[in-house]
Chains A and B, each alone.
Chain A
């Protein structure tokens, strides 16, 4: 097996672990704005890491360029979407209640 396949598999694994952490944090937090923050950062990071891993396993130059173009699009699309959702929640009057915030034990 070529070296780039091994590195691609490793990056895909790291990206999937990042996405899993994002989902676990989504379950962990009860505050909506904390959820938005985690979803935006961890999901984009995991997505891009997995995308680089897939790009290393691409069958040719043209598919590689298409995957990189998709990565560049996602780099802008994912944060803008989460920003629009959080802005929609804020402007609609959704506020965090006191009992929703995480407490230190």
Chain B
């Protein structure tokens, strides 16, 4: 079951890559990147439960926070047209 969920999440991430490649504006691409990061967090969680490695949950938490900071600052960078 968990292996199937991991495969499904990988397929979803490929679909999101297609959206990032296709998306007409930069904000579409940013939104796709945000959704890929949330799916990657789910992948890490599923893998940690699958292999009983609980320290991977900490890595997922750090990845969530760093992805949040990165996306927010890229959005700010675009809004200010290169000036932060």
The number of A-B residue pairs with CB atoms under 8 Å apart is: 119
Please indicate the chain A residues that have their CB under 8 angstroms from the CB of B15 in the complex.
Answer: 23, 27
Say whether A85 contacts B61, CB under 8 Å: no
Q: Which residues of A contact B (CB under 8 A)?
A: 9, 12-13, 16, 19-20, 22-23, 26-27, 32, 35-36, 39, 43, 47, 50-51, 54, 57-60, 62-63, 66-67, 69-70, 73-74, 77-78, 80-82, 84-89, 91-92, 94
Question: Whole-angstrom distance between the alpha carbons of A19 and B32 in the complex?
Answer: 13
Extra A-B contacts (16), CB below 8 Å, given A70-B64, A88-B76:
A12-B2, A23-B35, A32-B28, A43-B35, A54-B42, A67-B57, A74-B41, A82-B34, A84-B72, A85-B27, A85-B71, A87-B79, A88-B27, A88-B79, A92-B81, A94-B27
Per a CB cutoff under 8 Å, which of B1, B12, B16, B19 touches A12?
Answer: B1
In angstroms, Cα B9 to Cα A30, docked, is 24
Q: Is the CB of B31 within 8 A of A39?
A: yes
CB-contact partner of B45 in A16, A26, A54, under 8 A: A54
B57 is contacted by which of A66, A78, A80 (Cβ under 8 Å)?
A66
Binding site for A on B (CB under 8 A): 1-2, 5, 8-9, 12, 15-16, 19, 25, 27-28, 30-32, 34-35, 38-39, 41-42, 45-46, 48-49, 52, 54, 57-58, 60-61, 64-65, 68, 71-72, 75-76, 78-79, 81
Residue of B at shortest CB range from A76? Answer: B68
> Would you list 24 pairs from A and B whose C-beta atoms are within 8 A, ordered by A residue?
A12-B1, A20-B12, A23-B12, A35-B31, A39-B35, A43-B35, A43-B38, A47-B41, A54-B42, A54-B45, A66-B54, A70-B41, A78-B38, A81-B34, A81-B71, A84-B71, A84-B76, A85-B27, A85-B30, A87-B79, A88-B75, A91-B79, A92-B78, A94-B25
